[in-house]
């Protein structure tokens, strides 16, 4: 295996020596600032992540070689519980975790150090920078690296929150969060850092429905308030000892567990007694909204742990209800046991309330039959419920029985009906976890109301309008994101921005018990890269980074001498930082994966708009899609199947991988990772490398000829194409030109016998420079062996020389290729064992027809009759009779469809000279003797009368 690593390391060291990675303000020089949305520190990354990062480096390199001073900083986002989670697992030597670390190349002796969260973060910061980004040859300004857990970064975030507060965008309102009675707030997430069970639980929003019975209420909890019109009875678990509680002067009956949960969410709850479930069977209670009396029946599926342990029954749409009602009707023992009358039981019949495509009047019944469920307690009921709920919510429509809600879509009716009942005092909101969650301390975790939760008010109308207006001006890629983002910005509402508990992050400046949560501290940060430089080398210390400091350097507010005095930062340094900020900002491109479209990018836009002046608003966002595993999953970090990045880099070489990312597909589609595909790019790099190496060493003392003019024309045209593509950041198009088209041109040049040193050198300069953005190591290696000076990475891409771009020259070679393929085709079709081929070039009169057509096209008078008429005034043309008028017709149509001047090379090329000059080449290529004759020549040899078919651009061919 070739040792790509040492070649790559060599050039990376040279770039560093040359200081190419460092970005410094150069007043007056155009700047370009680009970032990728920094990754969360969650462990080892996989090959998929490098896709977006590679785009950023390639774009940065391209900008650098086209006259820009480029700032490409990197950082990491470590806010959250990822670090804690990993450290905890490492501390208790969790087998899977240790295995995961070792498999990804973590040195064994490093592991004991990783028991502290911050050590984990620092460890991975180092991995990301050194094993991923530097390894891939990125020219990022490493000096500016920052991490969300650094104290100086925290100062910046606290300042940002002061600004949000000043702008009136921080609001407080109640919020419902998981809470342990002993440990306080806990994080419920799949990593299960804080908890020992229930990491997949979700917070669900129930509606408590109050059913009047005498002067008390049976309280049911439902996720489907829109089904109240279908209520026909009420379920109570006869085995459960229910509680009576006082709430706002009312008496409620709920399960004991529900009573406990309610105290966490409602004020003034007081237990006043108990009542066995069995006692309630046979009661009549008044259902909310419909105000009908419905009977209470026994049901074993009422789990006191879920909701309130009491359930309103809507058999039409709830499979559990349907099957249980059937069971009640069939079970005679219930009548005796609970004294229910047959009449009462018979009076309970399902009511059809929702019309769902693909279902009959009673969706629950349909689903039960479809799944073959026959009795209550069947485990398939869970699935049945989920499916009916989902279909009902998305596709259902309320039927006529639903009063004022008739005809509404379910997803709309749900909120409306819930609100109507809450307004009428018949219902209340309630939150519960979808499954049992147990804290590490062993206590049960419940949802608790938090009254003073802070939110950022992204729903603010003025902010939204201004942000939307700015987004319209931005360069957003893919273009459809421009359209979508308008909707996303509208849809963004208040967002909880702080949280309690065991999380890493910055303290909320207005109340230290809160930690600023993960999305909210990563929205304005790109601007901090202009400042982190000075914090990292300790020219400023975190304690100096006061509100006045940021106000001055970011916003230009305050008086420099005052700020200098209060912070202890010299006026000179303050001035310098301020100028840096003004120079580098706004951000030109923020590139991130598609997951950011509805989360990070809108928040990024809002925060910039809320805090920074117009001239500092971001200019562009580029969204990249993923590299996926099989079955188009994201390559999962946790699944472990993905290849560690350093291993892949060693195996394929960094440049091959970079080219793979840049070219394998449009930025805006997912790509399935396949080593085989990467290998074809490895091969592609090798082929280009080989072709260049061969050109460098080729004997090349021939004088410049036609083919040299052709190559220079092609390469300068490509240069222009590359620039056009890169205007749109279309790396893929650019790579097609550089690694495919240009290689093909070189092959043709070689095949045509090109070997002029000056041409080759000129072509190589263009070509190698054009390779630099995507395959920089290969480019350097080639640049050096070609004997060119300096580093390509430090050079400037030449402007295309339009004076050497020649349509005529390119047309000539196209013609030769066409002639070759025509000959091949004729030989194949005709099955002739030919010894000789005769080419007849077009007669002069046909050229004249085209000249006339071109002139008429120019002056706008071209039409079939006009051209025919004009041609007939020319004796030399007219003489050809019908052939002349037919040609005039065809030419008139062809020319009028084309751009003016497009056909010029066709009629003005000296075809005889061209083909005669290529005779030797053609003869070698096709293995036949080749003669070139002019169709105009006197007594031309033409035994098969082929010559008359000759036309400009299309010589007649005779095989014999």
Taking CB under 7 A as the criterion, the residue among 118, 290, 709, 949 binding RNA is 949
Task: Identify which of residues 106 and 957 has a Cβ nearer to RNA in the complex.
Answer: 957
Residue 484 near RNA by CB under 7 A: yes
Query: Minimum distance between the CB of residue 77 and RNA, rounded to whole angstroms?
Result: 5
Q: Per-residue x/- mask for RNA, residues 242 to 281, rule CB under 7 A?
A: ----------------------------------------
Query: Minimum distance between the CB of residue 773 and RNA, rounded to whole angstroms?
Result: 19
Taking CB under 7 A as the criterion, the residue among 522, 617, 624, 759 binding RNA is 522
The token duo for 876 is: 């030399």
Query: Minimum distance between the CB of residue 216 and RNA, rounded to whole angstroms?
Result: 34
Task: Identify which of residues 26 and 669 has a Cβ nearer to RNA in the complex.
Answer: 669
List, in order, residues 6 or more apart from 337 with CB less than 8 Å away.
none
Residue 724 near RNA by CB under 7 A: no
Residue 401 near RNA by CB under 7 A: no
Contact 655, 612 (CB under 8 A): no
Residue 959 near RNA by CB under 7 A: yes
Task: Identify which of residues 483 and 559 has a Cβ nearer to RNA in the complex.
Answer: 483
Query: Minimum distance between the CB of residue 36 and RNA, rounded to whole angstroms?
Result: 13
Q: How many Å is the maximal CA-CA distance in the chain?
A: 123
* Contacts (CB under 7 A) with RNA, residues 461-480: 480
Residue 162 near RNA by CB under 7 A: no
CA distance 588 to 594: 18
Taking CB under 7 A as the criterion, the residue among 167, 395, 406, 582 binding RNA is 395
Residue 830 near RNA by CB under 7 A: yes
Q: What is the DSSP string of 574-604?
A: HHHHHHHHHHHPSPSEEEEEGGGTTTHHHHH
Q: Per-residue x/- mask for RNA, residues 79 to 108, rule CB under 7 A?
A: xx----------------------------
Taking CB under 7 A as the criterion, the residue among 291, 538, 882, 897 binding RNA is 897
Task: Identify which of residues 159 and 492 has a Cβ nearer to RNA in the complex.
Answer: 492
Residue 598 near RNA by CB under 7 A: yes
* Contacts (CB under 7 A) with RNA, residues 725-754: 736, 740, 743-744, 747-748, 751
Contact 34, 589 (CB under 8 A): yes
Task: Identify which of residues 148 and 324 has a Cβ nearer to RNA in the complex.
Answer: 148
Q: Per-residue x/- mask for RNA, residues 667 to 686, rule CB under 7 A?
A: --x----------x--xx-x
Query: Minimum distance between the CB of residue 365 and RNA, rounded to whole angstroms?
Result: 21
Taking CB under 7 A as the criterion, the residue among 825, 858, 861, 924 binding RNA is 825
Q: Where are the beta strands (DSSP E) in 181-309?
A: 184-185, 195-197, 203-213, 216-222, 233-236, 241-247, 250-254, 270-276, 284-286, 293-298
List, in order, residues 6 or more apart from 341 with CB less than 8 Å away.
335
**Which of the ranges 68-76, 370-378, 532-540, 596-604 carries the binding residues for RNA, by CB under 7 A?**
596-604
Residue 665 near RNA by CB under 7 A: yes
**Which of the ranges 297-305, 338-346, 775-783, 947-955 carries the binding residues for RNA, by CB under 7 A?**
947-955
* Contacts (CB under 7 A) with RNA, residues 18-47: 40
Task: Identify which of residues 889 and 954 has a Cβ nearer to RNA in the complex.
Answer: 954
Task: Identify which of residues 108 and 699 has a Cβ nearer to RNA in the complex.
Answer: 699
CA distance 686 to 715: 20
**3-state SS of the chain: helix, strand, coil percent to 5?**
50, 15, 30
Query: Minimum distance between the CB of residue 789 and RNA, rounded to whole angstroms?
Result: 29
* Contacts (CB under 7 A) with RNA, residues 335-374: none
Taking CB under 7 A as the criterion, the residue among 268, 487, 647, 753 binding RNA is 487
Residue 493 near RNA by CB under 7 A: yes
**Which of the ranges 293-301, 516-524, 796-804, 852-860 carries the binding residues for RNA, by CB under 7 A?**
516-524
For 683, the 3-state DSSP assignment is: helix
Which of 45, 73, 923 has the alpha carbon at shortest distance from 535?
A: 73
Task: Identify which of residues 327 and 515 has a Cβ nearer to RNA in the complex.
Answer: 515
Q: Per-residue x/- mask for RNA, residues 608 to 647, rule CB under 7 A?
A: ------------------------x---------------
CA distance 740 to 953: 27
The token duo for 119 is: 């050590």
* Contacts (CB under 7 A) with RNA, residues 835-894: none
* Helix 844-859 × helix 864-872 angle, to 10°: 130
Which of 588, 671, 560 has the alpha carbon at shortest distance from 625?
A: 671
CA distance 516 to 860: 69
Task: Identify which of residues 540 and 951 has a Cβ nearer to RNA in the complex.
Answer: 951
The token duo for 810 is: 């390119």
Contact 69, 61 (CB under 8 A): no
Query: Minimum distance between the CB of residue 334 and RNA, rounded to whole angstroms?
Result: 39
CA distance 626 to 441: 39
Which of 796, 773, 774, 772 has the alpha carbon at shortest distance from 783?
A: 772
DSSP single-letter state for residue 634? B
List, in order, residues 6 or more apart from 469 with CB less than 8 Å away.
none
Instruction: State the number of CA atoms in the 13 A half-sphere of 875 facing the CB.
Output: 0
Residues pairing with 178 in the sheet? 447
Taking CB under 7 A as the criterion, the residue among 113, 330, 370, 491 binding RNA is 491
Task: Identify which of residues 267 and 451 has a Cβ nearer to RNA in the complex.
Answer: 451
Q: Per-residue x/- mask for RNA, residues 790 to 819, rule CB under 7 A?
A: -----------------------------x
Query: Minimum distance between the CB of residue 247 and RNA, rounded to whole angstroms?
Result: 27
Residue 293 near RNA by CB under 7 A: no
Burial 128-167 (b: 16+ CB within 10 A, else e): bbebbbbbbbbbbbbebbbbbbbebbbbbbbbbbbbbeeb
Residues pairing with 233 in the sheet? 313
For 40, the 3-state DSSP assignment is: strand
- Compute, in degrees rounded to 10, the torsion defined by CA atoms 444, 445, 447, 453: 140
User: Residue 403's CB: how many other CB atoms inside 10 A?
Assistant: 12
Taking CB under 7 A as the criterion, the residue among 273, 898, 910, 913 binding RNA is 898
**Which of the ranges 47-55, 424-432, 441-449, 511-519 carries the binding residues for RNA, by CB under 7 A?**
511-519
- Compute, in degrees rounded to 10, the torsion defined by CA atoms 731, 736, 738, 742: -160
Taking CB under 7 A as the criterion, the residue among 19, 442, 613, 690 binding RNA is 690
H helices present in 43-116, as ranges: 50-64, 82-91, 95-103
Q: Is the dihedral of CA 3, 4, 5, 8 positive or negative?
A: positive
For 76, the 3-state DSSP assignment is: strand
Site size for RNA (CB under 7 A): 73
CA distance 441 to 526: 40
Task: Identify which of residues 690 and 920 has a Cβ nearer to RNA in the complex.
Answer: 690
* Contacts (CB under 7 A) with RNA, residues 914-933: none
- Compute, in degrees rounded to 10, the torsion defined by CA atoms 460, 36, 76, 194: 60
Taking CB under 7 A as the criterion, the residue among 417, 763, 850, 958 binding RNA is 958
Q: Is the peptide bond before 478 cis (omega within 30 degrees of 0)?
A: yes
**Which of the ranges 221-229, 524-532, 687-695, 851-859 carries the binding residues for RNA, by CB under 7 A?**
687-695
Query: Minimum distance between the CB of residue 784 and RNA, rounded to whole angstroms?
Result: 22
Query: Minimum distance between the CB of residue 335 and RNA, rounded to whole angstroms?
Result: 43
List, in order, residues 6 or more apart from 331 with CB less than 8 Å away.
none
Task: Identify which of residues 37 and 328 has a Cβ nearer to RNA in the complex.
Answer: 37
Query: Minimum distance between the CB of residue 945 and RNA, rounded to whole angstroms?
Result: 10
């Amino acid at each position: 295996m070739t040792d790509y690593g040492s070649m790559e390391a060599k050039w990376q060291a040279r770039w560093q020596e040359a200081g190419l990675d460092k970005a410094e303000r150069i007043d007056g020089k155009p700047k370009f600032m680009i970032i990728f949305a920094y990754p969360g520190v969650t462990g080892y990354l996989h090959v998929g992540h490098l896709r977006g990062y590679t785009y950023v480096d390639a774009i940065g390199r391209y900008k650098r070689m086209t006259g820009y001073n480029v700032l490409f900083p990197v950082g990491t986002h470590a806010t959250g519980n990822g670090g804690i989670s990993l450290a905890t697992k490492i501390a208790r030597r969790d087998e899977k975790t240790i295995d995961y670390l070792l498999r990804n190349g973590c040195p064994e002796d490093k592991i004991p150090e990783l028991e502290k969260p911050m050590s984990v973060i620092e460890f991975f910061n180092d991995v990301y920078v050194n094993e991923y980004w530097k390894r891939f040859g990125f020219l990022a300004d490493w000096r500016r690296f920052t991490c969300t857990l650094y104290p100086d970064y925290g100062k910046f975030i606290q300042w940002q929150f002061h600004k949000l507060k000043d702008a009136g965008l921080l609001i407080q309102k109640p919020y419902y969060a998981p809470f342990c009675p002993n440990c306080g707030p806990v994080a419920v997430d799949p990593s299960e850092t804080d908890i020992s069970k229930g990491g997949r639980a979700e917070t669900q929003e129930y509606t408590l429905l109050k059913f009047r019975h005498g002067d008390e209420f049976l309280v049911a909890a439902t996720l489907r308030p829109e089904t109240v019109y279908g209520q026909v009875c009420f379920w109570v678990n006869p085995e459960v000892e229910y509680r009576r509680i006082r709430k706002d002067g009312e008496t409620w009956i709920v399960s004991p567990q529900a009573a406990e949960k309610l105290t966490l969410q409602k004020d003034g709850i007081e237990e006043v007694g108990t009542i066995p479930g069995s006692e309630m069977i046979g009661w009549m209670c008044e259902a909310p909204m419909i105000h009908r009396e419905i009977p209470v029946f026994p049901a074993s599926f009422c789990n006191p742990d879920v909701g309130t342990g009491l359930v309103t029954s809507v058999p039409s749409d709830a499979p559990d209800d349907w099957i249980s009602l059937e069971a009640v009707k069939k079970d005679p023992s219930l009548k005796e046991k609970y004294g229910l009358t047959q009449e009462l039981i018979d009076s309970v019949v399902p009511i059809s309330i929702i019309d769902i495509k693909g279902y009959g009047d009673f969706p629950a019944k349909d689903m039960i039959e479809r799944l073959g469920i026959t009795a209550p307690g069947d485990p398939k009921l869970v699935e049945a419920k989920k499916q009916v709920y989902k279909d009902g919510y998305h596709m259902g429509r309320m039927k006529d029985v639903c009063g004022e809600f008739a005809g509404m879509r379910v997803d709309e009716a749900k909120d409306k009906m819930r609100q109507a009942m809450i307004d009428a005092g018949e219902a209340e909101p309630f939150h519960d976890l979808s499954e049992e969650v147990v804290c590490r301390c062993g206590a049960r975790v419940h949802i608790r109301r938090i009254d003073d939760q802070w939110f950022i008010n992204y729903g603010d109308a003025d902010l939204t309008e201004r942000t939307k207006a700015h987004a319209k001006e931005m360069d957003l890629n893919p273009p459809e994101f421009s359209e979508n983002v308008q909707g996303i910005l509208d849809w963004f509402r208040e967002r909880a921005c702080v949280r309690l508990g065991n999380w890493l992050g910055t303290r909320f400046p207005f109340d230290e018990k809160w930690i600023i949560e993960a999305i909210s501290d990563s929205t304005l940060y790109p601007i901090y890269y202009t400042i982190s430089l000075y914090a990292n080398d300790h020219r400023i210390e975190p304690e100096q980074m006061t509100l006045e400091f940021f106000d001055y350097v970011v916003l230009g507010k305050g008086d420099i001498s005052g700020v200098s005095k209060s912070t202890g930062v010299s006026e000179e340094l303050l001035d310098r930082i301020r100028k840096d900020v003004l120079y580098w900002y706004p951000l030109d491109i923020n590139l991130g994966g598609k997951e950011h479209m509805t989360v990070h990018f809108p928040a990024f836009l809002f925060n910039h708009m809320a805090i920074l002046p117009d001239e500092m608003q971001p200019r562009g966002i580029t969204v990249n899609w993923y590299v996926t595993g099989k079955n188009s999953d994201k390559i999962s970090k946790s699944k472990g199947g993905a290849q560690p990045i350093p291993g892949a880099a060693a195996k394929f070489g960094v440049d091959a991988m970079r080219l793979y990312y840049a070219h394998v597909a449009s930025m805006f589609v997912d790509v399935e990772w396949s080593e085989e595909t990467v290998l074809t790019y490895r091969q592609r790099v090798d082929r280009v490398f080989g072709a260049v190496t061969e050109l460098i060493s080729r004997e090349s003392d021939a004088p410049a000829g036609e083919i040299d003019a052709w190559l220079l024309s092609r390469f300068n045209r490509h240069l222009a194409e590359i620039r056009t593509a890169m205007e749109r950041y279309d790396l893929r198009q650019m790579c097609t030109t550089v690694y495919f088209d240009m290689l093909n041109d070189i092959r043709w040049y070689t095949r045509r016998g090109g070997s002029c040193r000056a041409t080759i050198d000129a072509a190589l300069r263009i070509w190698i420079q054009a390779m630099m953005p995507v395959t920089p190591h290969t480019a350097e290696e080639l640049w050096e062996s070609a004997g060119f000076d300096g580093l390509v990475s430090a050079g400037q891409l030449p402007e295309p020389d339009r004076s050497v771009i020649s349509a005529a020259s390119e047309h000539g070679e196209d013609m030769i290729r066409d002639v070759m393929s025509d000959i091949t085709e004729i030989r194949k079709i005709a099955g002739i064992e030919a010894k000789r081929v005769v080419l007849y070039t077009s007669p002069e009169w046909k050229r004249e027809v085209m000249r006339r057509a071109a002139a008429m096209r120019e002056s706008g008078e071209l039409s079939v009759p006009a051209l025919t008429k004009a041609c007939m005034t020319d004796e030399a043309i007219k003489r050809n009779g019908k052939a002349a008028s037919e040609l005039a017709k065809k030419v008139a149509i062809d020319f009028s469809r084309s751009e003016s001047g497009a056909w010029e090379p066709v009629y003005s090329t000296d075809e005889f000279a061209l083909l005669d000059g290529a005779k030797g080449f053609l003869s070698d290529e096709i293995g036949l003797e080749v003669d070139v004759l002019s169709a105009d020549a006197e007594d031309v040899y033409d035994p098969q009368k082929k010559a008359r078919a000759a036309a400009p651009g299309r010589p007649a061919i005779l095989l014999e």
